[in-house]
Amino acid sequence: MVTQKHEMEKQKHKIELPTGFGAVFSNLGFMLLWLGQLTSQLADRIYVYVLMIIVYQLTHSNLGVSLPLLAFGIPSVLVAPWAGIVADKLDRKWIMVVTDISRGLLILLIIPLIAKSVALIFLVSLLIYSAAQFFAPAETSSIPELVDRKNLIIANSLFMITWMASSVVGFGLGAPLVNLLAEKGTLVASAACYFISAASILLLPLKPPTPVAVNLKSHVLGDLGVGFEFIRRNQVVRYSLYKLFVASMAIATLSVLAISYANDILMIGGRNFGYLIIAVGVGMLLGMWSLEKIRHFVNKGTIVVGSFLLSGAATLLLSRTYNIYGALCLIFLLGVGNIYITSSIQTILQHKIPRQIRGRVFGVQNMLINSAFTLPVVFFGLAADLWGILFAIAILGWLLLLTGLAGIFLPKFKTV
């Protein structure tokens, strides 16, 4: 009788566990991590904006302005997988704190170099972006430790929207900050954002990792291979990462092509391409709200497949659209589809990857996402120059649509 009563109390307690937006926003640990993400990414974007100005003033060259992208791209490919190993071996909270403080101090180090050497600025930037690779897998791996399993999809949606919004807001803040504080003052503001992020993360209630005996003779390549081998053997994880790469590539490519599309097709002027980016952001916000509702009725795999089909159809229609209002509506749908895909896949990965190797797998994921913002963007930019902006958008639309169709008809994709 006592046992039965105890079981009834347990069931009652389970039923009363809060879910949804209220549970996520009332979770102090998650909100501290989210604040750390927000301030850290704002610092990233503000720094890039100032760096582009500084490099242009020193080189007076458009090629020189591409150096910040190169400084970002090299560590994202070479350092990210190794950073995942560190995230699995060491305390994730202190990894994030140390990388934030390091980036803030390195930015302050650039101030005396402003008018001196592009090479030195580039080298310091390499160090800053290398440190950033350690932050990402530690952060992503920490979310499941702070958020209840049922609320992971909402938490991931908030993180994806923050990532998108911080890119827009960070670059948007760059101009007024430089006008108000000049380049040196804006670099100080960027460093301050990193320090705020470090303070926020320092308060996280994350459990330290289980002590593991360190074998100095162990091969680091073996540790790295564990992550890649897990991805190779786990079909769900492997194809989820592929889909995440395609979704990230799509949003990155459209962001780059938006200037030309706004100027040459919509005839609203290149300066007004920001309205298209805002439409993506609004779509993501509505997508986050509606995803919380439909996740109770539709499984995540179906949401991902349907969202790829929606995004592909919207992108193909966009390649035939010359009207600003039609374009805004279609880009809004792309924002909805993108948040559905990325949040659902991120949640699937967090469910499927064991805690002890999350850092390594998310390090590979970080490498893939960063790669999606470099090589494919160059390809679509070249396609737009050679065959026209609408042709490039149409290619992207077919790629998204075929990824969705693969989820319906190909057996391996169907299981995912």
Q: What domains are defined for the chain?
A: 10-202 (1.20.1250.20), 220-415 (1.20.1250.20)
Q: pLDDT digit string (tens) for 143-178?
A: 888 888 788 878 877 877 777 667 666 666 776 787
Q: What is the mean pLDDT of residues 131-143?
A: 86
Place of tokens 């105890």: 6
Burial label for 217, CB within 10 Å (0-12, 13-18, 19+), is: exposed
Q: What is the mean pLDDT of residues 1-5?
A: 48
For the ranges 6-15, 115-124, 288-297, 343-352, which has the lowest average pLDDT?
A: 6-15
Q: pLDDT digit string (tens) for 79-101?
A: 877 777 777 778 889 999 999 99
In this prediction, residue 17 carries a pLDDT of 52
CA 376 to chain centre: 16
In one-letter notation, the amino acid at residue 405 is: L
Helix, coil or strand: residue 27:
coil
Q: How far apart are CA 379 and CA 285, in angstroms?
A: 29
* 263, 279, 308 from 328: Cα distances, Å: 14, 6, 19
CA 239 to chain centre: 18
CA 96 to chain centre: 16
* 138, 350, 376 from 89: Cα distances, Å: 10, 18, 32
Q: What is the mean pLDDT of residues 70-85?
A: 75
Token readout for 191 is 């460093």
Top-confidence residue, 158 or 246:
246
Residue 394 has pLDDT above 90, yes or no: yes
* 54, 121, 188 from 103: Cα distances, Å: 18, 13, 12
Q: Which of 386, 246, 403, 250 is nearest to 318 (CA)?
A: 250
Tell me if 305 sits within 8 A of 269, measured CB to CB: no
The sign of the torsion formed by the CA atoms of 22, 24, 29, 32 equals negative
Q: What is the mean pLDDT of residues 108-132?
A: 85
Q: Which of 279, 46, 44, 40 is nearest to 185 (CA)?
A: 46
In this prediction, residue 257 carries a pLDDT of 79
In one-letter notation, the amino acid at residue 20 is: G
Token readout for 21 is 């937006």
Phi, psi of 61 (to 5 degrees): -140, 135
- Helix (H), strand (E) at residue 182: helix 152-202
Contacts of residues 316-319 at CB distance under 8 Å and 24 or more positions apart, as own/partner, are 316/394, 316/397, 316/398, 316/401, 317/397, 318/393, 318/397, 319/390, 319/391, 319/393, 319/394, 319/397
The sign of the torsion formed by the CA atoms of 146, 337, 254, 414 equals positive
In this prediction, residue 210 carries a pLDDT of 62
| Mean pLDDT, all residues of the chain | 79
SS3 content of the chain, % helix, strand, coil (to 5): 85, 0, 15
Q: pLDDT digit string (tens) for 298-332?
A: 888 788 888 899 999 999 999 998 998 999 999 99
In this prediction, residue 94 carries a pLDDT of 92
Phi-psi region at 182: left, alpha or beta (left = phi > 0; alpha = psi -120 to 50): left
In this prediction, residue 15 carries a pLDDT of 45
